[in-house]
Chains A and B, each alone.
Chain A
């Protein structure tokens, strides 16, 4: 077979089927429908198998991308899954939510002339096939006697837990909420990442022997020091996410009907407020919804609002579409579904009625001035351009600050903004304690958090490996007298494999 060249491969990326926008705003089913077998093979053939492999360097977790694509070309799908599983335990998730255009696909040599190879779509195809076929990749694990604690069952924690479990450690993830998954569960809506996919991928983590204790607020139930000294964990990874949503401090923020995107999405995704009153958690949403911010979280909030029956949904952003931090695909989907974008618009005041309920917004038009510190052109208010419009719900999606709990309850060194300080190897100021993800970087992406979790796992292995065997204090895992109390009576909420959970 002659070598493939830019000229011989299919000039267009294989399209992925999607639900019609008019139809999909009435349901929470997934918007994009994934590749068929034929689609996947077509698209895999577009990979030039170039020797430089820039895509691999573009991947935060270093997936052997040409390797798994070659397996698809060879129709060895199980083999493709094995290649993926070497680097990521969650291909069905990453294939959906990674910003591939900035990573593997952005680096793909094909982009020099054509649309890049649809790497994310291919990854999702294999990830979904693995779930459907029940494939799992459980390496032979030799227990090494080390106990590792992971704080937070989000993307960073899951990635770190999986690597440490594969290395033979006895891994326990502690999660504050009643369900694992972190932002994958409470944040990203089902139409973009179904919770069934999250659960299925998470099952693979449990199959590695990782234990997950839900309803456990580390820092308050026990401290980091107690995790090590009382509960006998040899190393700890902190991946608690960013949390603590920002507000602007403009008048009217305390009105009823103003909420953070985190609250809105948590009510809808984690607590299923859309099914109120069959579910207990309510959501009070008006007909007209304004979302402040234009990142991926803003897109998620707007698209949830549309699905829950909002008639008009506005996106207010003080810069232009070009500066918007959302993925192109998310912006496109939001537009198709009917979101009304108000670029170069900043809110000045939230207006309320006599019942202290939001009744409108007063905004001002902006224009772009000189570049600021972020190298983006600074938005400047246009004098006398303020205007009012009616809305009933205002959702803030302008980012988050660091969650203060770990700082309040430990001696970890934090930076000025309250995020945990780590070195290049994800080590914190406390020996044996590592951190990664949003609690280190501030709000970022799922895949960057997973990359940080994997990098921390490598560092943690080095940390545990350098310990002399005779120094190693391998504790009795039961530790019945930890804390000086009889902990055998302690009930945790052990998260079990789906389907095996007894009905409550």
Chain B
């Protein structure tokens, strides 16, 4: 059992949990993920590690409440509560290369997980440009954390209420324009965002690493549910990834495979909503990262 030591609300749908697990905090590296079960009869969901603190003996998860399990967590995971299962760190750590200049892009649920990578690049001495995207000013979180580790920070909002108005790809394009010597781009977020980040950098031939978020069960290479096509080869995201070359990933296939259980996810969420007397939101449920 793994105790929740802190919780923070970022918006109506996004929240942070800090969970005690000293060994995991010690072992975690940028780019890795965990699998969580909220309760014994629950499902196993993969969540990217957003931060970790050896001193506090904790890992931090930033969760977007979109499906049954993540909404259940939003409603019911309080400080002092225990998670039934927490296992990790899973996946191959991100390769933090000796690059001089790097862009770290985070959009939506990818903002938090790109933070450890930005920090790691900074610690390696790189010039780090952060590009983080939100729908509007009210939804911005961790701006100060990003400012601490980024030499430049471009905030993008859909409505222009903060930073530049536009998508993170606009921020990436702007950064590439003002810095012709960018060696690498890290992009984490919804698959469609990562796809278009990769398309933005492709003509410039800038190495672009993405962190994929397919459906998983065990997370240890046993089930193959998370298989993705990279450069025409089958890879298991959980043990061969989750980081892959964005220019090689078949994002359309990934997005189709994320819809595998669309009907069941909807059914599960509706059932849960009825049971908890929650007003059903009109958003489509999908698999949480």
Find out whether the CB atom of A178 lies under 8 angstroms from the CB atom of B229: no
Tell me, yes or no, whether A385 is within 8 Å of chain B by CB: no
Note all chain B residues with C-beta closer than 8 A to A266.
217-218, 222-223
Tell me, yes or no, whether B256 is within 8 Å of chain A by CB: yes
Tell me, yes or no, whether A373 is within 8 Å of chain B by CB: no
Find out whether the CB atom of B88 lies under 8 angstroms from the CB atom of A256: no
Residues 235-270 of A, flagged 1 when their CB comes within 8 A of B and 0 if not, give: 000000101110101000110100110110011000
Find out whether the CB atom of B224 lies under 8 angstroms from the CB atom of A271: no
Q: For this complex, into which size category does the number of interface residues on chain B fall?
A: 35 or more
Note all chain A residues with C-beta closer than 8 A to B54.
485
Tell me, yes or no, whether B234 is within 8 Å of chain A by CB: yes
Note all chain B residues with C-beta closer than 8 A to A222.
23, 27
Tell me, yes or no, whether A217 is within 8 Å of chain B by CB: yes
Residues 461-501 of A, flagged 1 when their CB comes within 8 A of B and 0 if not, give: 00000000000000000000001011101110100000000
Tell me, yes or no, whether B57 is within 8 Å of chain A by CB: yes
Q: Please report the total number of A residues contacting B with Cβ < 8 Å.
A: 50
In Å, the complex CA distance between A260 and B236 comes to 12
Residues 260-288 of A, flagged 1 when their CB comes within 8 A of B and 0 if not, give: 10110011000110001111111010000
Find out whether the CB atom of A247 lies under 8 angstroms from the CB atom of B227: yes
Residues 214-225 of B, flagged 1 when their CB comes within 8 A of A and 0 if not, give: 000110111111
Question: For B84, B90, B220, B268, which residue has the most chain A Cβ atoms within 10 angstroms?
Answer: B220
Residues 209-226 of A, flagged 1 when their CB comes within 8 A of B and 0 if not, give: 000001111001110000
Find out whether the CB atom of B40 lies under 8 angstroms from the CB atom of A504: yes
In Å, the complex CA distance between A284 and B229 comes to 22
When C-beta atoms are compared, the residue in chain B nearest to A182 turns out to be: B222
When C-beta atoms are compared, the residue in chain A nearest to B91 turns out to be: A220
Note all chain A residues with C-beta closer than 8 A to B229.
254
In Å, the complex CA distance between A271 and B42 comes to 8
Known contacts A404-B239, A405-B239, A489-B22; is-contact A247 B261 (Cβ 8 Å)? no
- Checking B2, B234, B260 against A253 with a beta-carbon cut-off of 8 angstroms, the contacting residue is B234
Find out whether the CB atom of A279 lies under 8 angstroms from the CB atom of B41: yes
Tell me, yes or no, whether B137 is within 8 Å of chain A by CB: no
Known contacts A256-B260, A405-B239; is-contact A483 B224 (Cβ 8 Å)? no
Tell me, yes or no, whether A408 is within 8 Å of chain B by CB: yes
Find out whether the CB atom of B87 lies under 8 angstroms from the CB atom of A216: yes
Tell me, yes or no, whether B92 is within 8 Å of chain A by CB: yes
Tell me, yes or no, whether B31 is within 8 Å of chain A by CB: no
List 12 A-B residue pairs with CB atoms under 8 Å apart, sorted by A's residue number: A177-B87, A178-B85, A215-B86, A220-B88, A243-B221, A245-B223, A254-B250, A254-B256, A277-B271, A279-B43, A281-B43, A490-B23
On B, residues with C-beta under 8 Å from A are 1-3, 20-24, 26-27, 32, 37, 39-44, 54, 57, 68-69, 82, 84-90, 92, 217-218, 220-225, 227, 229, 234, 236, 239-240, 250, 253, 256-257, 259-261, 263-265, 267-268, 271
